Structure 1
Amino acid sequence: MASLPPLPSPSFEELVTEGDAVPTEGWDFSWFEGRATEARPSWGYARGMAERLGRASVALDIQTGGGEVLASAPRFPAVTVATEGWPPNVARATALLRPRGALVVASPEDAPLPFGDAVFDLVTSRHPVRAHWSEIARVLTPGGTYFAQHIGPSSVFELIEHFTGPLPEETRSGRHPDRERAEAEAAGLAVVDLRAERLRMEFYDIAAVVHFLKKVVWMVPGFTVDAYMPQLRSLHEQIESEGPFVAHSTRHLFELRRRDGR
């Protein structure tokens, strides 16, 4: 029996429409399977977070997204709270975490944390938009721990600058771990551990690029398909002719402790 001819590859327009239609709520990245890859840091943030949650009494997860990373921990402290600022994510995180006994508080990412002083013995965060060091130090108990994975400098800039053009050095060097370390220490936090890694990413089609830029909104602020159609088309043609588009993410791991007598 004759074999069937292969199905035609999706067109540029079809791929862009597909990527544009994928829901962006939460931090579930399973849709990217087979369409994009990103190497993971060697330290295993979720595992380290779970270990510390297992030892904590009162914990706070800042900018929890849809709560997926926090929910991966097998055990929560007796009191577990999470904050999130984007309403769709607040609803998603509440549905996921409330059955586990965690409280989700709607709180804008740039607002002061809506808690008293010295409440939490553990504060965690994965990829906060910005770390508000004075607030983190304020809500930690003396000797309490901040454990987080941050986005580092020039992360995925190969992709970002395809859409924005070259960015100034000040922008490229933002989020540098040395700068964040100095800010944390000035707020009364002592560094227990700080590690940084640069990690390979690959995008296999333009649908993955569209969804990534819509989901991670700070990469190209104001990104829409219509506004960046020429850049999308040129990148699609590059992927079609040369293979996956390669970029590099940067990550750093912080473990900090609030000094007594802050």
Structure 2
Amino acid sequence: MTVPRTFEDLVAEAASAPVEGWDFSWFEGRATEQRPSWGYARAMGERLARAAAALDIQTGGGEVLASAPRMPPVMAATEGWPPNVARATALLRPRGAVVVAAAEDAPLPFADGAFDLVTSRHPVRTHWTEIARVLCPGGTYFSQQVGPASVFELVEHFLGRQPAEVRNDRHPDRARAAAEAAGLDVVGLRAERLRVEFLDIGAVVHFLRKVIWMVPGFTVDRYLPRLRSLHERMEAEGPFVAHSARFLIEARKPRS
């Protein structure tokens, strides 16, 4: 008979697990997330295969970009977190991609009109004017982004009910307006809400350590009472269910 693991064991394991990169294999058997119907990695790979020069912004550990079957002749990626810069370099350099260390809020370190394709999966923020600047006329920005109130069932367990302006942040309509204000034409925009299940409290801890903007400043010690109450709830009721929000946006720079 399997002995149930204690709260302390689950939390200690998750608190010591590495969180570098954008690999979510640690969650296997401990959390599930429904995937968007559009298949971002496949669609990104198709566009990369047709590009001459491409840039992947906030590439994380490079795992998503590395899944592309074919890289364009010129392939660059940016990343701001030093552990991820090293990880992405090791993964992408053999594929011919150059990884540039660049802070998320800094201007992109590339010339005007340098790329015909810019991609980004789950950027923290989208700097539309910089994207428009580095795209050549006719170039495309293609991105899957986190939508409004994503996994807020979990966020609000720790932080309490969030105000409307916070819940509506990252709305796809705002992304459309910002893209158009930067001079881009939005040629595609789709949004979905997707079921997420956390099967044990360790999965919650690992998620909040890895996706650091969900509960800013999260540490086990700081939120220990809330973690314990959630563990007890999951023990009594089963998996904790939340819903992620995702949208896919494609914007093009006019040729003239």
Fold-level match, TM-score > 0.5? yes
Aligned to 1:247: 242
Q: How does 1:209-248 map to 2 (within 5 A)?
A: 209-248=204-243
Residue in structure 2 matched with residue 151 of structure 1 by the alignment: 146
Alignment partner of 1:259 is 2:254:
yes
Kindly indicate whether residue 39 of structure 2 is the aligned counterpart of residue 31 of structure 1: no
- Name the structure 1 match of 2:201: 206
Separation in 1 of the partners of 2:181 and 2:137? 15
Shift of residue 38, structure 1, vs aligned partner: 0.3
Deviation at 1:256, TM superposition (A): 0.8
| Equivalence for 1:47 | 42
Using the TM superposition, give the Cα deviation of residue 65 of structure 1 relative to its aligned residue in structure 2, in angstroms. Answer: 0.1
Q: Deviations over 1:14-36 (max 9, x none)?
A: 00001111100001001101100
1:196 and 2:201 are equivalent in the alignment:
no
Q: Secondary structure at the match of 1:43?
A: coil
* Structure 2 partner of 1:85: 80
The CA distance in 2 between the partners of 1:7 and 1:136, in whole Å, is 53
Letter in 1 for 2:35: R
Bigger-Rg structure (1/2): 1
Count of matched residue positions in the alignment of Structure 1 and Structure 2: 256
* Cα distance in 2, alignment partners of residues 75 and 92 from structure 1: 20
Structure 1: distance between partners of 2:2 and 2:92:
42
RMSD: 0.5
User: What does 1:75-224 align with in structure 2 at a 5 Å threshold?
Assistant: 75-224=70-219
Q: In the alignment, which residue of structure 2 is the partner of 1:3?
A: none
Compute the displacement of 1:190 (Å).
0.4
In structure 2, the gaps of 5 or more residues are none
Task: Give the deviation of 1:117 after TM superposition.
Answer: 0.2
Task: Report the CA distance between 1:7 and its aligned residue.
Answer: 3.0
TM-score for both structures, normalised by structure 1: 0.97
Structure 1: tracts of 5 or more residues without a match: 1-5
1:8 deviates by 1.4
Q: Distance in 1 between matches of 2:37 and 2:59?
A: 22
Can you list the C-alpha shifts for 1:164-192, whole angstroms capped at 9, x where unaligned? 01111100000000011001001011011
Corresponding position of 1:64: 59
Question: Runs ≥4 in structure 1, deviation > 2 angstroms?
Answer: none
The one-letter code sitting in structure 2 at the alignment partner of 1:13 is E
Question: Deviations 1:220-249 (Å, cap 9, x if unpaired)?
Answer: 000000000000000000110000000000
Name the % identity: 74
CA distance in 1, matches of 2:215, 2:2: 33
